[in-house]
Amino acid sequence: MSVFFYGCVTLDGYLADRNHGLAWLHETGSAEETGYEDFYRKMDAAIMGKRTFEEVARLENAASFYPTTENYVFTHADSLPQKGFIPVSGDVAEFVAGLGPDKNVWVIGGNTILAPLLDRDMVDHLIIQVAPVLLGEGIPLFTQKERLMRFRLDEVKQYGQFAELVYSRNDLKR
């Protein structure tokens, strides 16, 4: 199993504005301008939190963005208003470990999903696109417990106005 974070942040490190909005991202560019398609083809499962799902659900035909992955949403709800998304609850790290050794798992959005996986040293790859935007405040990408963690820079790419930084856990072979 490999666990990937793939997402975009502002220059000052925010995933979303203070109201969890992504207008800054949509106004900057689109997925067609990135390596999203190639990345997505390699994924088996996607996990996200409820707030990230709510943003995704606002998009027209949201399930079409994740057609080939098993899509899990951490929530206390028993059902979700969009087809193609499965509600789950409990410990994120235990859930991910239970997906099996042959899965590539994509962590979408939320630091509430990413932080517990970082705390348990379960994140293998960070693919972070940086948008040329400063928000000043918002929802930060990293909120894990204080502890030194090292990643290795594998690649730097430019997609229009986005810089993409591709990192792997320092102990992984390339």
Return the pLDDT at 62: 79
Please give the CATH superfamily to which domain 2-169 belongs.
Dihydrofolate Reductase, subunit A (3.40.430.10)
For the segment 83-104, what is each residue's pLDDT rounded down to a tens digit?
899 999 999 999 999 998 999 9
The pLDDT value given to residue 32: 64
Measured between alpha carbons, how far is 140 from 13 in angstroms, rounded to an integer? Answer: 6
pLDDT for the residue numbered 170: 84
Does 106 score more than 80 pLDDT?
yes
pLDDT in tens, 31-84: 666 788 899 999 999 999 998 898 888 877 877 889 999 999 999 999 998 889
Q: Is 92 helix (H, G, I), strand (E, B) or coil?
A: helix
Are 39 and 54 spatial neighbours (Cβ–Cβ below 8 Å)? Answer: no
With a CB cutoff of 8 Å and minimum separation 6, the contacts of 7 are: 15, 108, 109, 127, 128, 129, 141
pTM of structure? 0.91
How confident is the model at residue 1, as a pLDDT? 83
**Over the stretch 18-36, which tens digit does the pLDDT of each residue have?**
988 888 988 887 666 678 8
pLDDT digits (tens, 9 = 90+) for 110-160: 788 999 999 999 999 999 999 999 999 999 999 888 888 899 999 999 998
